[in-house]
């Protein structure tokens, strides 16, 4: 990915967070994406989320595959370790990394080509495994770096910039994630930072695979009339079904459940996610109800957004595995090696 | 009837033909172990189909007092339990040999030979009379042939019974059934035939410092001893038992005593691509991680292998080779992945590869592989094969030095990073071609972007020719510098030298060694070198230089080791000749001797 260092000058009166850092400390190098790219707004939302959560940058591991979206880990939290892997295979790197060191905060950034075509298998299995990570799919319905081919998320009837019409059924990552048992499923819009930031924060707090599908328009190849992933179309057709508010661990929780429309869910780390229903009868804990609701809205051409489904309790990959709480990388070799006496004992059985 | 006089006490080959899925594997294992416990050197080769139940399967046992454990060059006794394969099984016994068969059904005339002795025992009838239930009868039929062999070969009954007692200590009824079956077979044979045969066992004391183990179990144990904590894999024959072994030994040695939780994480991946990615991800974090697979898996992993090479992420790959190409013959052995592993992935890549020759080296090289991977920060392969991996081998007891300290390579600590002014991931500061790395989560100053895209020595993205070339050139030198760190070649030379040299690799070793010993006894002087690692140490090129003709013995069609020697040494091409054997069976000395004959003639090697 291209690399332009940002000047480090900062405003002297920028506020600091609990670990003494300003929002600028959570930025990365200069983006080389097209001006107006939705991905840059997602990056900005991530920067905001990290800053507000008082995260120590070096405790973050940010990963990606290949594509425009996968360039973005370079653009946030420069003091975090990054891994720009191969196309569609970031989930495997993340699963292995998380297996080895469960204490870091894992953030994977992918795109619709990366997750829904070449990497569809890995995406599905990361969900099944419930790898503890925030997984952001920057969804624009198009391959940008190779100049405008349809991706697997392009809706039927969508026209490309060159005028071709997509006839193939799209893969809806939200629907897919729900069917695979994902424990945190959200959809948002790169142009709606107030909605996106608390969702990202909740995703970072979630113990398990937190999936956020972000409609993130491609200004160069898919922002025209006839596209269902353009800024205009998304603004006109999205509706928020759930409003998310994230209350960090240290904050006092003010309850306002009076009208019964707000649900407070305590996350694994003690923080609280408050979900306020915008749409009546929508229940973000009812998987099949959510699937039905989304199917209905989709058939009307609407884009339902918000933290659509959440199951905060439950085991992640380490829970399934029964791994020790201590990160495996921190276990001293002396503990890992059984030694010569054990070898002799074992070999007595090989006779 | 004339017997093959070169075989007799503690020296013969035995082949057992059965039907897959009938429980014969445990009977054959019992037999092999009994001979081993009688102190007699043995080896067992399982020739099995890619099938769960119903197809023919064979088990070859070689008994050899001199300790030669390569595949038996011939078979003096065949136990023919599968009518479907009678024709070829009966064909296989040497003239003067014996055929033990199930006479419950009369043997068809077409199978009869007059130069061998047929020993008919009504195994099926005996079991029908004695046991109830069809499954029990099928299982016990296998134990009755072991009983027959106890009598025919003079196997120590106490040893056999002792083993059954150990095996069925908690299952009294099974132990009793097995005892009955053993005695059924033994008593019938004692009553109806002269026992023992001229080929037979005699208790000696030649196995007390040895153990019986498969290469895959030993490799798995090596991973445990190396301190590997993450294993990722996709099931594939013949590599599956590596992860089975790792799981077993981890459950035994790696459970945290206080919490009962696991000090390891084993992930069954969705495919080999993901398995490779998981290894790279875990290694990136600083864990020792590995994946066991076979050729088809390596094919799928090559994209990730290139990433690990270029981004310099230590990672360990086990390739338990099977017969290719494509699906090939999944249950047959081969050395067909040598070039694949050495140059795996697109673009300019070259990898460290270790070639164990037996389970002992599977254990040792597994440990070495993690050290090499971390020291040189690069993918490292342990290339074994089905014969080594899945068959029971008699090997000297494994040893472990409790003072062993793993070589984690250059990894900067939080303190070192705190003191450093800046950190650049790919900057070689001391001229050994290896740059220090940092681990995620340790210190903000150590952060960098691991990437498979073009980068300069500072770890920054680049599309600049000079910056790109600089890193690529260092990578080449780095991997080449491992030539003296990989296991050195094993040399067997005659005094005064020889004009003829042999080079071999992996499990071919034992047949080559046996063939060479025979040549030496016949007065033919031959030197021998076994390659154990790549990049080749300078000793390999020197060996070729010092001989007029060097014959490379390997188990693939395309002379892959010979070609690798031509590519990676400055040897004279015309010197290198080739013996290839790629039908899928373990190598036996006959193939080597036959292949060498023309060169011996041409060289007119002096025969004393």
- A chain contacts of residue B450, beta-carbon cutoff 8 Å: 81-84
- A chain contacts of residue B449, beta-carbon cutoff 8 Å: 1, 73-74, 82-84
- A chain contacts of residue B266, beta-carbon cutoff 8 Å: 321
How far, in Å, are B223, B246, B319, B360, B362 from residue B384 at the CA level?
14, 16, 6, 12, 8
Model ipTM value: 0.95
For residue B21, what pLDDT is reported?
87
pLDDT band, residue A254 (cuts 50/70/90): low
For residue B604, what pLDDT is reported?
67
How far, in Å, are A140, A282, B128, B167 from residue B172 at the CA level?
67, 61, 21, 10
Distance of alpha carbon A248 from alpha carbon A254, whole angstroms: 12
For residue B57, what pLDDT is reported?
95
Tokens of A96: 């292995």
8 Å CB contact between B97 and B76: yes
* Fold that domain B11-192 belongs to in CATH: Pyruvate-ferredoxin Oxidoreductase; domain 3 (3.40.920)
How far, in Å, are B5, B206, B360 from residue B37 at the CA level?
26, 10, 19
Work out the minimum CA distance from A148 to partner chain B, whole angstroms: 22
Tokens of B42: 């043995």
B522 touches chain A (CB under 8 A): no
Distance of alpha carbon B79 from alpha carbon B59, whole angstroms: 10
> pLDDT tens digits, residue range A146-189?
999 999 999 999 999 999 999 999 999 999 999 999 999 999 99
**DSSP-based three-state secondary structure for B249:** helix
- A chain contacts of residue B453, beta-carbon cutoff 8 Å: 1, 84
Contacts with B, A 264-323, CB within 8 Å = 317-318, 321-323
B169 touches chain A (CB under 8 A): no
Distance of alpha carbon A141 from alpha carbon A114, whole angstroms: 11
Report the residue of chain A nearest B212, measured CA to CA.
A350
> pLDDT tens digits, residue range A303-340?
999 999 999 988 999 999 999 999 999 999 999 999 99
Q: For residue A48, which of A185, A187, A188, A193 has the smallest C-alpha distance? A: A193
CATH of the domain at A146: 3.40.50.970
**DSSP-based three-state secondary structure for A34:** coil
Distance of alpha carbon B102 from alpha carbon B69, whole angstroms: 29
For residue A8, what pLDDT is reported?
66
8 Å CB contact between B374 and B201: no
In eight-state DSSP terms, residue B586 is P
Tokens of B180: 């009955």
8 Å CB contact between A202 and A307: yes
Domain that holds residue A305: 23-330
A251 touches chain B (CB under 8 A): no
Run of H or E including B241:
helix B240-253
Distance of alpha carbon B65 from alpha carbon A319, whole angstroms: 53
Q: Verify whether the Cβ–Cβ distance B270 to A346 is below 8 Å.
A: no
Largest CA distance in chain A: 76
Q: Verify whether the Cβ–Cβ distance A58 to B274 is below 8 Å.
A: no
Run of H or E including B518:
helix B509-521
8 Å CB contact between A235 and A192: no
Number of other residues whose CB lies within 10 A of the CB of residue B520 = 15
Domain residue extents for chain B = 11-192, 213-396, 414-481, 490-603
Contacts with A, B 426-465, CB within 8 Å = 438-453, 460-461
In eight-state DSSP terms, residue B537 is P
- A chain contacts of residue B403, beta-carbon cutoff 8 Å: none
Q: For residue B334, which of B16, B531, B560 has the smallest C-alpha distance? A: B560
Tokens of B374: 């971390």
| Cis before A199 (ω within 30) | no
CA atoms within 13 A on the CB side of A111: 29
The CATH class for the domain spanning B490-603 reads alpha beta
B399 touches chain A (CB under 8 A): yes
Look at residue A318 and tell me if it is in a domain: yes
Angle of CA points B576, B531, A339, to nearest 5°: 175
A85 touches chain B (CB under 8 A): yes
Q: For residue B216, which of B362, B335, B107, B331 has the smallest C-alpha distance? A: B362
**DSSP-based three-state secondary structure for B242:** helix
Work out the minimum CA distance from B133 to partner chain A, whole angstroms: 32
pLDDT band, residue A12 (cuts 50/70/90): confident
Q: Verify whether the Cβ–Cβ distance A86 to B307 is below 8 Å.
A: yes
8 Å CB contact between A74 and A28: yes
Rg (CA), chain A: 21
For residue A7, what pLDDT is reported?
66
B162 touches chain A (CB under 8 A): no
pLDDT along chain B (608 residues), means of 10: 61 96 91 97 93 91 96 96 95 97 94 96 96 92 97 97 94 94 97 96 96 98 98 98 98 97 98 98 98 98 98 98 97 98 98 98 98 98 98 97 98 97 96 98 95 96 97 98 98 94 98 97 96 98 97 98 98 96 97 95 62
- A chain contacts of residue B230, beta-carbon cutoff 8 Å: 96, 99-100, 328
Q: Verify whether the Cβ–Cβ distance A328 to B402 is below 8 Å.
A: no
**DSSP-based three-state secondary structure for B137:** helix
Whole-number mean pLDDT of chain A?
Answer: 93
Look at residue A338 and tell me if it is in a domain: no
Q: For residue B217, which of B367, B50, B362 has the smallest C-alpha distance? A: B362
Tokens of B223: 């991973």
Work out the minimum CA distance from A5 to partner chain B, whole angstroms: 10
B273 touches chain A (CB under 8 A): yes
A328 touches chain B (CB under 8 A): yes
Report the residue of chain B nearest A67, measured CA to CA.
B453
Domains B11-192 and B490-603 share a fold: no
Work out the minimum CA distance from B209 to partner chain A, whole angstroms: 10
The domain over range B213-396 is classified in CATH as 3.40.50.970:
yes
DSSP string covering A139-185: E-SEETTTTSEE-TTPPTT-B-TTS-B--SPPP-HHHHHHHTT-SEE
Distance of alpha carbon B301 from alpha carbon B496, whole angstroms: 47
* Placement of tokens 């164990």 in the chain: B356
Strand partners, B552: B503, B578
How far, in Å, are A58, A308, B452, B535, B574 from residue B441 at the CA level?
5, 32, 21, 34, 55
* Placement of tokens 């003639």 in the chain: B601
Question: What is the helix, strand, coil percentage profile of chain A, to 5?
Answer: 35, 20, 45
Largest CA distance in chain B: 88
B315 touches chain A (CB under 8 A): no
> pLDDT tens digits, residue range A181-219?
999 999 999 999 999 999 999 999 999 999 999 999 999
Tokens of B219: 């490799």
8 Å CB contact between A198 and A245: yes
Task: Count the domains in chain A.
Answer: 1
Q: Verify whether the Cβ–Cβ distance B274 to A95 is below 8 Å.
A: yes
**DSSP-based three-state secondary structure for B179:** helix
B297-323 burial, b if ≥16 CB within 10 A, otherwise e? bbbbbbbbbbbbbbbbbbbbbbbbbbb
Q: Verify whether the Cβ–Cβ distance B278 to A92 is below 8 Å.
A: yes
Q: Verify whether the Cβ–Cβ distance A324 to B256 is below 8 Å.
A: yes
Angle of CA points A193, A244, A310, to nearest 5°: 120
In eight-state DSSP terms, residue B110 is G
A144 touches chain B (CB under 8 A): no
A347 touches chain B (CB under 8 A): yes
In chain B the first and final C-alpha atoms are separated, in Å, by 35
B427-458 burial, b if ≥16 CB within 10 A, otherwise e? ebeeeebbbbbbbbbbbbbbbbbbbbbbbbbe
Q: Verify whether the Cβ–Cβ distance B281 to A125 is below 8 Å.
A: no
Sheet of B93-102, strand order? B42-47, B56-64, B11-19, B75-80, B93-102, B117-121
Work out the minimum CA distance from B225 to partner chain A, whole angstroms: 5
Number of other residues whose CB lies within 10 A of the CB of residue B32 = 23
Work out the minimum CA distance from B304 to partner chain A, whole angstroms: 7
Distance of alpha carbon B309 from alpha carbon B345, whole angstroms: 9
Of the listed ranges A13-17, A98-102, B118-122, the one predicted with least confidence: A13-17
Of A325, A333, A343, the CB nearest to B400: A343
pLDDT band, residue A251 (cuts 50/70/90): low
8 Å CB contact between B606 and B525: yes
> pLDDT tens digits, residue range B292-339?
999 999 999 999 999 999 999 999 999 999 999 999 999 999 999 999
Phi, psi of B489 (to 5 degrees): -65, 150
Distance of alpha carbon B25 from alpha carbon B32, whole angstroms: 11
Q: Name the burial class of residue A193, with classes exposed (0-12), middle (13-18) and buried (19+) by CB atoms within 10 angstroms of its CB.
A: middle
A13 pLDDT more than 90 = no
8 Å CB contact between B576 and B544: yes
């Amino acid at each position: 990915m291209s690399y332009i260092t940002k000047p480090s000058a900062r405003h002297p009166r920028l506020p600091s967070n609990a670990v003494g850092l300003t929002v600028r400390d959570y930025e990365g190098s200069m983006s080389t994406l097209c001006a107006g790219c939705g991905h840059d707004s997602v990056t900005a939302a991530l920067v905001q989320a990290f800053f507000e959560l008082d995260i120590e940058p070096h405790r973050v591991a940010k990963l990606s595959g290949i594509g425009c979206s996968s360039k973005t880990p370079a653009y946030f939290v420069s003091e975090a370790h990054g891994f720009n892997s191969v196309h569609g295979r970031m989930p495997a790197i993340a699963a292995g990394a998380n297996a080895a060191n469960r204490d870091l905060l894992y953030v994977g950034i992918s795109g619709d080509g990366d997750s829904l075509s070449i990497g569809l298998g890995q995406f599905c299995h990361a969900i099944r495994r419930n790898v503890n990570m925030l997984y952001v799919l920057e969804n624009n319905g198009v391959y940008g770096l190779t100049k405008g081919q349809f991706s697997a998320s392009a809706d039927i009837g969508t026209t490309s910039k060159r005028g071709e019409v997509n006839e193939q059924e799209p893969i809806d990552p939200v629907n897919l994630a729900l069917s695979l048992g994902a424990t945190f499923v959200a959809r948002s819009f790169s142009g709606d930072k107030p909605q996106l930031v608390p969702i990202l924060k909740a995703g970072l707090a979630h113990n398990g695979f937190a999936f956020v599908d972000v409609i993130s328009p491609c200004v160069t190849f898919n922002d025209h009339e006839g596209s269902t992933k353009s800024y205009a179309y998304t603004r006109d057709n999205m509706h928020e079904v759930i409003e998310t508010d994230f209350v960090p661990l240290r904050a006092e929780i003010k309850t306002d459940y009076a009208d019964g429309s707000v649900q407070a869910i305590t996350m694994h780390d003690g923080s609280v996610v408050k979900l306020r229903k915008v749409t009546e009868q929508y229940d973000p804990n009812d998987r099949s109800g959510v699937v039905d609701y989304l199917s209905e809205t989709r058939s009307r051409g609407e884009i339902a957004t918000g933290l659509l489904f959440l199951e905060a309790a439950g085991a992640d990959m380490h829970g399934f595995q029964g791994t020790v709480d201590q990160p495996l990388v921190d276990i001293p070799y002396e503990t890992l090696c059984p030694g010569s006496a054990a070898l002799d004992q074992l070999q007595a059985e090989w006779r | 009837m004339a017997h093959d006089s070169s075989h007799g006490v503690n020296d013969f080959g035995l082949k057992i033909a059965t039907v897959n899925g009938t429980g014969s594997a445990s009977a054959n294992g019992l037999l092999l172990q009994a001979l081993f416990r009688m102190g007699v050197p043995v080896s067992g080769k399982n020739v099995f189909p890619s099938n769960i139940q119903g197809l023919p399967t064979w088990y070859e046992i070689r008994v050899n007092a001199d300790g030669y454990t390569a595949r038996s060059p011939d078979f003096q006794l065949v136990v023919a339990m599968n009518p479907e394969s009678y024709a070829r099984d009966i064909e296989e016994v040497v003239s003067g040999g014996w055929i033990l068969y199930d006479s419950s059904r009369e043997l068809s005339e077409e199978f009869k030979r007059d130069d061998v002795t047929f020993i008919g025992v009504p195994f099926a009838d005996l079991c029908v009379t004695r046991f109830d239930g069809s499954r029990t009868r099928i299982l016990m039929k296998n134990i009755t042939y072991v009983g027959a062999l106890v009598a025919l070969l003079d196997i120590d009954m106490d040893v056999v019974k002792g083993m059954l007692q150990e095996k069925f200590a908690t299952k009294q009824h099974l132990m009793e059934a097995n005892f009955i079956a053993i005695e059924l077979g033994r008593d019938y044979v004692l009553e109806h035939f002269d026992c023992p045969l001229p080929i037979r066992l005699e208790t000696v004391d030649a196995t007390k410092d040895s153990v019986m183990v498969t290469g895959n179990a030993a490799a798995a144990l090596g991973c445990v001893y190396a301190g590997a904590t993450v294993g990722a894999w996709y099931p594939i024959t013949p590599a599956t038992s590596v992860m089975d072994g790792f799981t077993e030994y981890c459950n035994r040695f790696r459970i945290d005593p206080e919490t009962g939780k696991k000090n390891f994480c084993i992930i069954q991946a969705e495919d080999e691509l993901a398995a490779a990615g998981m290894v790279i991800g875990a290694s990136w974090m600083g864990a020792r991680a590995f994946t066991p697979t076979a050729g088809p898996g390596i094919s799928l992993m090559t994209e990730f292998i290139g990433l690990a090479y270029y981004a310099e992420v230590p990672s360990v790959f086990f390739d338990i080779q099977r017969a290719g190409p494509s699906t090939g013959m999944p249950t047959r052995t081969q050395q067909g992945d040598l070039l694949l592993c050495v140059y795996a992935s697109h673009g300019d890549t070259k990898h460290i590869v270790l070639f164990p020759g037996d389970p002992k080296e599977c254990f040792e090289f597994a440990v070495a592989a993690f050290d090499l991977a971390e020291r040189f920060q690069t993918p490292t392969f342990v290339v074994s094969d089905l014969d080594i991996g899945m068959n029971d081998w008699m090997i000297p007891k494994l040893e472990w030095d409790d003072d062993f300290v793993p070589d984690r390579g250059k990894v900067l600590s939080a303190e070192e990073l705190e003191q450093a002014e800046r950190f650049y991931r790919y900057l070689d500061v001391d001229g050994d071609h290896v740059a220090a790395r940092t681990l995620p989560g340790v210190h903000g100053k150590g952060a960098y972007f691991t990437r498979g895209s073009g980068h300069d020595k500072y770890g920054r993205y680049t599309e600049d020719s000079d910056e790109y070339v600089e890193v690529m050139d260092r990578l080449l030198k780095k991997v080449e510098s491992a030539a003296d760190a990989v296991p050195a070649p094993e040399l067997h030379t005659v005094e005064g030298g020889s004009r003829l040299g042999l080079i071999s690799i992996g499990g071919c070793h034992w047949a080559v060694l046996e063939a060479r010993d025979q040549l030496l006894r016949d007065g033919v002087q031959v030197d021998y070198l076994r390659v154990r690692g790549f990049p080749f140490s300078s000793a390999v090129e020197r060996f070729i230089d010092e001989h007029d003709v060097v014959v490379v013995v390997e188990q693939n069609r395309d002379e892959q080791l010979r070609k690798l020697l031509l590519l990676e040494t400055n040897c004279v091409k015309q010197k290198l000749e080739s013996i290839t054997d790629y039908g899928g069976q373990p190598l036996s000395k006959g193939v080597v001797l036959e292949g060498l004959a023309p060169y011996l003639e041409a060289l007119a090697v002096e025969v004393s």
